[in-house]
Chains A and B, each alone.
Chain A
Amino acid sequence: MKMLEEARGKWVGSLNEVVIGATKQQGGTRTSTVTVGGEKTLPFLAYEGPTKNRPVVAMEIWDREPEDWPNSLMEALGDAVKSPAEWAKKCVEEFCAEMLCLHLMGTHPDFGNASPQSAAAVVKSVLAATGVPLIIWGCDHDETDNEVLPRCSEAAKGEKCLIGAVKEDNYKTLVSFCLADGHSLIGLSPIDINIAKQVNILVSEMGFPLDRMVMYPTTGALGYGLEYVYSIQERSRVAALGGDKMMSMPVICMVGQESWRTKEAKASAEEAAGWGDENTRGVFWEIATATALLQAGSDIMVMRHPAAMTAIKNVINKLVK
């Protein structure tokens, strides 16, 4: 196939591989681990080379029952949302999630103000409930995260979790804990590729290993800033493949969180006449957001609706075969 040969890009770099989860032999209690990253090509271009590790979908669960998620989402999840451990179990056993993202929204001062100790207890309960690797995400309120996440890091010591997130002006505390407790770290940047790189540099200058870092360039849902993130992720991938070691981290996307905030996901049939079936609109919005970001270069997709997750997993399998 001469043409495909001709079309190959000449890349000199690759993404780092990050392993999340530790089995018994490795010092944890997970029954499976997940490896992301490692790509040497643009997304899914088999003619440039095989995809080393397929992108992974994680399901998002909260440490408290969400209050304003639309019906179409809540109905699919059922009562399990009342308990993080139940929710975790349902995700893995019924929806076949390969990874979980525990979002500690209950610790936010405005949403429950749960204590660091209770957050750590939730972490332990979720780790006990299932064997899949775990992402632990704070509430994005700096002072709270600086108290809560270190306790969670300790509670999960040895499990090689992925913990989020550090920012350019708030990274020192969490970096020390994750370094000591063996976890990987998510670096957050506000839709700015330069700040993304700066976060990576600052964190690595504290001695944190590059292959335990994941980037979160912030996710914008379809129709609500998607294209900004899309281009940043494409630029990041090109930079990594071009050899920039400080941009060679796998990328995580909060697809569920962003797409289920949109009007298209939430509006009732009366409010959005002409937009189609209110029970499935949100699912397709989540699918479309995820698909676009996969093409831009993503490694971990954190999603909410089981049907959207299934569709994306199937699509990934087809793209990677």
Chain B
Amino acid sequence: MALKALDIFKLLPKTNCKKCGCPTCLAFAMKLAQKQANLDQCPDVTAEAKAQLEGSAAPPIRLVTIGTGNSKLEIGNETVMFRHEESFYHPPGIGVVIPDNLDDNELNARIEAVEKLQFVRVGAHIRSDIVAVENVSGQADPFAKTAAAVQKLDLPTVLMSKEPANIDKVLESCKDKRPLIYGASADNWEKYAAIAKEKQCPLAVSEADLDKLAALTEKVKAAGVEDIILDLTSAGISETLQALTAARQLALKKNVRSLGYPSLAISSSAQTAGEQVAECCTYIAKYAGIVLTGLHHPEYILPLLTLRQNLYTDPRKPIQVEPKLNQVGTVTTTSPLLITTNFSLTYYTVEGEVEASRIPSFIGAIDTDGTSVLTAFASDKLTAEKIAAFLKSDAVKDKVTHKKVIIPGYVAVMSGALEEESGWKVLVGPREASGLPKYLKTVWKSE
């Protein structure tokens, strides 16, 4: 159990000497509690205090790495049941399962399709970041061939087979890429564990229910494999959802170390695409560390990647949209130009209202570190100078012929300064975004 800040404080020297870089011992204790500092920074901490503090540091859910290099996937080390309690930390890998019984053309096409599952959203690069090869044929050669072809993607890989020998063979050529081995269950785990230990790869284990799974992971760990992934794919979405949730709850709250590993869920292809998408979304939202599906078209995968991006944003940090000039509707050089901040909620609200007004407009999102209009204004992040610079920038200056800019009502006081700085005429818009449709239809129209 993690120690609270005050408890940590009691173990520190309490001299406020500042050698650790923090102004007081209590400030240092707070940082230690949030894992933002290292105990080594304090030169005067006693040996017993050190022992006590370090004892409580082991994460309840192990951090497991799959793959190597820049594209490696790290999952686990989660600390909460609900993102609003703190945050989720390691976004799950979302991957396509490629069967080994495709002909060459199909295989190439499939690999190309997976390669295309990369997008840019709110300035971030999101992609399908893991790939699985399934030994549907049961034979070693097609499996090896497919696995080799898939290496072109340079993604962390899951090798799925019911035949441990087939996996062993594939690993001869790619073990240093640290793929995840999948296939171990109650009746064959020893062989898989031996391979995993020898080749230093993580191992996914499956069982009929959580009790049996917990017993199995203990055996696997005793056999020398510590990087374990729990395969919680069950009979259907309901059972899998329950397994994912219960495993997380038990690891975090009941200290069940034998379930303290990231989990994996595979969506069943025996249902419509819509239901598969829904199933994957459910697992992404509910604790899976890896979600695998046979679907590979962008219209199915983009929503999954977006959901992952949304839920794994730290709720304590404001989300920012890209600071730039946006267009809503078919704009012309006489369209209105509005200014707002790059706090995503503010921006989307303004954009929504402008859309509802049906008056095509430009919206300039100014970089205010993702703070809202009032906060940005009070902390000097939304200033006349910044807006003027934006208006003078190449991206903006010739977009409209009228040289009029609409600023949020709450920052009316800066109109004089902004006019001076920019040379544009400043119109003061409504205080609330909900007033925009009316404003654009009446005040702007009459300008």
Q: What is the distance, in angstroms, from A233's C-beta to the closest C-beta of chain B?
A: 10
Of chain B, the residue at the smallest CB distance from A51 is B238
Q: What is the distance, in angstroms, from B77's C-beta to the closest C-beta of chain A?
A: 20
Residues of A within 8 A of B254 (CB): 6-7
Q: Does A288 contact B (CB under 8 A)?
A: yes
Residues of B within 8 A of A294 (CB): 282
CB under 8 Å from chain A, chain B span 296-334: 297-300, 302-304, 306-307, 309-311, 313, 315
Per-position binary interface string of chain A over residues 280-313, scored 1 when its CB falls under 8 Å from any chain B CB and 0 otherwise: 1101110110111011100000000001101110
Q: Does A113 contact B (CB under 8 A)?
A: no
Q: Does A274 contact B (CB under 8 A)?
A: yes
Expressed in whole angstroms, the Cα–Cα distance for A209 and B116 within the complex equals: 54
B302 x A264 contact (CB < 8 A): yes
B311 x A191 contact (CB < 8 A): no
Given contacts A3-B209, A315-B237, A318-B238, contact A292 B285 (CB under 8 A): yes
Expressed in whole angstroms, the Cα–Cα distance for A284 and B271 within the complex equals: 14
From B10-18, B25-33, B193-201, B273-281, give the one contacting chain A: B273-281
Per-position binary interface string of chain A over residues 257-290, scored 1 when its CB falls under 8 Å from any chain B CB and 0 otherwise: 0000100100000000011110011011101101
Interface residues on B, range: 35 or more
Q: Does A207 contact B (CB under 8 A)?
A: no
Q: Does B68 contact A (CB under 8 A)?
A: no
Q: Which residues of A contact B (CB under 8 A)?
A: 1-4, 6-7, 9, 42, 44-47, 68, 110, 191, 220, 222-228, 230-231, 234-235, 238, 261, 264, 274-277, 280-281, 283-285, 287-288, 290-292, 294-296, 307-308, 310-312, 314-315, 318-321
Given contacts A7-B250, A276-B302, A315-B237, contact A234 B82 (CB under 8 A): yes
A227 x B315 contact (CB < 8 A): yes
Q: Does B410 contact A (CB under 8 A)?
A: no
Per-position binary interface string of chain B over residues 260-282, scored 1 when its CB falls under 8 Å from any chain A CB and 0 otherwise: 00000000000111110111011
Of chain B, the residue at the smallest CB distance from A305 is B274
Expressed in whole angstroms, the Cα–Cα distance for A69 and B169 within the complex equals: 54
A307 x B352 contact (CB < 8 A): no
A287 x B298 contact (CB < 8 A): no
Residues of B within 8 A of A45 (CB): 241-242, 245
Q: Does B409 contact A (CB under 8 A)?
A: no
Expressed in whole angstroms, the Cα–Cα distance for A228 and B84 within the complex equals: 9
Per-position binary interface string of chain B over residues 220-255, scored 1 when its CB falls under 8 Å from any chain A CB and 0 otherwise: 000000000000000011100110011101100010
Q: What is the distance, in angstroms, from A14's C-beta to the closest C-beta of chain B?
A: 19
Residues of B within 8 A of A3 (CB): 209-211, 214, 246, 250, 256, 259
Interface of A is mostly: helix
Of chain B, the residue at the smallest CB distance from A109 is B438
Expressed in whole angstroms, the Cα–Cα distance for A236 and B315 within the complex equals: 16
CB under 8 Å from chain A, chain B span 392-447: 437, 441
Q: Does B65 contact A (CB under 8 A)?
A: no
Nearest 3 CB-CB pairings of A with B: A276-B299, A311-B274, A276-B298
Q: What is the distance, in angstroms, from A109's C-beta to the closest C-beta of chain B?
A: 9
Q: Does B185 contact A (CB under 8 A)?
A: no
A318 x B236 contact (CB < 8 A): yes
Q: What is the distance, in angstroms, from B262's C-beta to the closest C-beta of chain A?
A: 17
Number of A-B residue pairs at CB separation under 8 A: 162
Cβ contacts A to B, 17 pairs, < 8 Å:
A1-B211, A4-B210, A44-B242, A45-B241, A223-B121, A235-B82, A274-B116, A274-B119, A280-B299, A283-B274, A288-B277, A288-B307, A296-B285, A310-B274, A315-B237, A315-B278, A319-B238
A277 x B299 contact (CB < 8 A): yes
Residues of B within 8 A of A222 (CB): 303, 306-307, 310
Q: Does B286 contact A (CB under 8 A)?
A: yes
A234 x B84 contact (CB < 8 A): yes
Q: Does B83 contact A (CB under 8 A)?
A: yes
Residues of A within 8 A of B302 (CB): 264, 275-276, 281
Given contacts A7-B246, A222-B307, A318-B236, contact A228 B299 (CB under 8 A): no
Residues of B within 8 A of A223 (CB): 121, 306, 309-310
Q: What is the distance, in angstroms, from B140's C-beta to the closest C-beta of chain A?
A: 35
Expressed in whole angstroms, the Cα–Cα distance for A319 and B240 within the complex equals: 10
Expressed in whole angstroms, the Cα–Cα distance for A228 and B357 within the complex equals: 24
Residues of B within 8 A of A224 (CB): 348
B299 x A2 contact (CB < 8 A): no
A276 x B297 contact (CB < 8 A): yes
A261 x B236 contact (CB < 8 A): no
Q: What is the distance, in angstroms, from A117's C-beta to the closest C-beta of chain B?
A: 24
Of chain A, the residue at the smallest CB distance from B319 is A227
Given contacts A4-B210, A288-B304, A311-B275, contact A318 B82 (CB under 8 A): no
Given contacts A3-B246, A275-B298, contact A261 B352 (CB under 8 A): yes
Q: What is the distance, in angstroms, from B106's C-beta to the closest C-beta of chain A?
A: 19
Of chain B, the residue at the smallest CB distance from A276 is B299
Residues of B within 8 A of A277 (CB): 297, 299
Pick the contact of A235: B84, B274, B303 (CB < 8 A): B84
A291 x B278 contact (CB < 8 A): yes
A4 x B121 contact (CB < 8 A): no
Expressed in whole angstroms, the Cα–Cα distance for A308 and B116 within the complex equals: 25
Q: Does B345 contact A (CB under 8 A)?
A: yes
Expressed in whole angstroms, the Cα–Cα distance for A191 and B352 within the complex equals: 15
Given contacts A4-B246, A315-B278, contact A288 B311 (CB under 8 A): no
Pick the contact of A231: B83, B249, B348 (CB < 8 A): B83
Expressed in whole angstroms, the Cα–Cα distance for A258 and B14 within the complex equals: 53
Given contacts A7-B246, A312-B278, contact A281 B299 (CB under 8 A): yes
18 more contacts with CB within 8 A, not counting A3-B256, A274-B298, A296-B285, are A3-B250, A4-B246, A6-B250, A6-B254, A46-B242, A110-B441, A227-B83, A231-B82, A264-B302, A275-B298, A276-B302, A284-B303, A288-B277, A288-B303, A292-B307, A292-B310, A311-B277, A319-B282
CB under 8 Å from chain A, chain B span 144-177: none
Expressed in whole angstroms, the Cα–Cα distance for A321 and B313 within the complex equals: 32
Expressed in whole angstroms, the Cα–Cα distance for A258 and B79 within the complex equals: 32
B274 x A307 contact (CB < 8 A): yes
Q: What is the distance, in angstroms, from A112's C-beta to the closest C-beta of chain B?
A: 13
Expressed in whole angstroms, the Cα–Cα distance for A191 and B346 within the complex equals: 12
